[in-house]
Amino acid sequence: MKMASIRRTLSPYNDRSNNPFLTQSPSQKRNLSPVRRFFSGLFFLQKQQHYSRKSNHFSWKKSLFRCFMFFFLGFLFGMAPFNNDFINDLRNSDLSIEMKSPPVLNEAEMDRPRDTEIVVDQVRLGVVEKSDRNEIRSDLDFITAKQLIVVTPTYNRALQAYYLNRLGQVLRLVKPPVLWIVVELNAASMETADILRKMGIMYRHLVCTKNSTDVKDRGVHQRNTALEHIERHRLDGVVYFADDDNIYSLELFESMREISRFGTWPVGMLAQSKNKAILEGPVCNGNKVIGWHTNEKSRKLRRFHVDMSGFAFNSTILWDPKRWHRPTSDPIRQLDTVKEGFQETTFIQQIVEDESQMEGVPEGCSRIMNWHLHLEAHNIATYPKGWILEENLDVDVI
């Protein structure tokens, strides 16, 4: 009796080398390159438990990971410049790096400066003298000039508008900074305010509230109002009392900026009789005051023979007594209790002690830069309201 022999035919699925779903032995994994191992692990299952026989689907974590990897690879391929020009340039370009040694320079070439180099031969450190500092300041245009504080007392009269406009036009020609302080009695008139607004310069319109019945000299109290304003607000500059009926030159205002403490100059005055001119002011040797011009015997008792428009001083003297070594800190004001003509000398005595603290302006005090004239319109007794005459003036036709 013959027994039937059964041959078991080997299935092609039993070939582990050709079945991608079967795991490989560690020895086979070692023979694969790292790139092939990465892609085989990326696209195929490496462990049998990742394959579910029940659902015939991969795990959701592995699917999410593969989707993310495919998306990332697609994004990289989409951003890559796959054009022929780029590939040809990349192939033709030489990516080799050549190290070149720096050129050797001789001593003459090393000493010669290059065009892009800045060579400093020598640096010296020292203290700048005062004279050198003044020369440097003269060369620099952005240095701010000293401020001029022009104080003008005014009152209602027929020629007030003419005087204010004339003085304002002169101040417009002076280089800034210029501050024009105009002081009126009792109330600020609209006409004066209108002139100041249209003048185009920096101004302050003040009012002296002193009772007019008790005023002996209105100009004294008006100037004291301006001095109080300067002291309260600590205005820095050179103070000058400029009456509106005087005549001034531009050179006068420019010379004031050179004053450090107190400066004075001669003033031409027209006598009350209108038949002669009087010179009043300092006699100078260079910038030093050595004497005074005076012609009236009654004024020989004065200490300083100066007109009210013949001097200017530093404003810090009013509000900084320690800087100028003043013996007292009392406010500096003009006095209304002294005789007429003595207001100037009593005021100057509060600022300086003697002529050694004065400066003559200009050099040698040899020029007259302003005139004090006594000119008023006596035909019109009252000040017209609004500076307008209601009745027409008589006209003579020849």
* Cβ–Cβ < 8 Å for 283, 364: no
CA 171 to chain centre: 23
Sign of CA dihedral 217, 219, 221, 224: negative
* Cβ–Cβ < 8 Å for 134, 143: no
* Distance between CA atoms of residues 329 and 65, nearest Å: 90
Query: Is residue 344 annotated as a catalytic residue, yes or no?
Result: yes
Q: What is the 3-state secondary structure (H, E, C) of the chain?
A: CCCCCCCCCCCHHHCCCCCCCCCCCHHHHHHCCHHHHHHHHHHCCCCHHHECCCCCCECHHHHHHHHHHHHHHHHHHHHCCCCHHHHHHHHHCCCCCCCCCCCCCCHHHHHCCCCCCCCCCCCCCCCCCHHHHHHHHHHCCCCCCCCEEEEEECCCCCCHHHHHHHHHHHHHHCCCCEEEEEEEECCCCHHHHHHHHHHCCEEEEEEECCCHHHCCCHHHHHHHHHHHHHHHHCCCCEEEECCCCCEECHHHHHHHCCCCCEEECCEEEECCCCCCEEEEEEEEECCEEEEEECCCHHHCCCCCCCCCCCEEEECHHHHCCCCCCCCCCCCCCCCCCCCCCCHHHHHHCCCCCCHHHCEECCHHHCCCCEEECCCCCCCCCCCCHHHCCCCCCCCCCC
CA 223 → CA 196, 201, 335, distances in Å? Answer: 18, 20, 10
Whole-number CA gyration radius for the chain: 50
Catalytic residue among 344, 353, 359, 390: 344
So which residues are the catalytic ones? 344
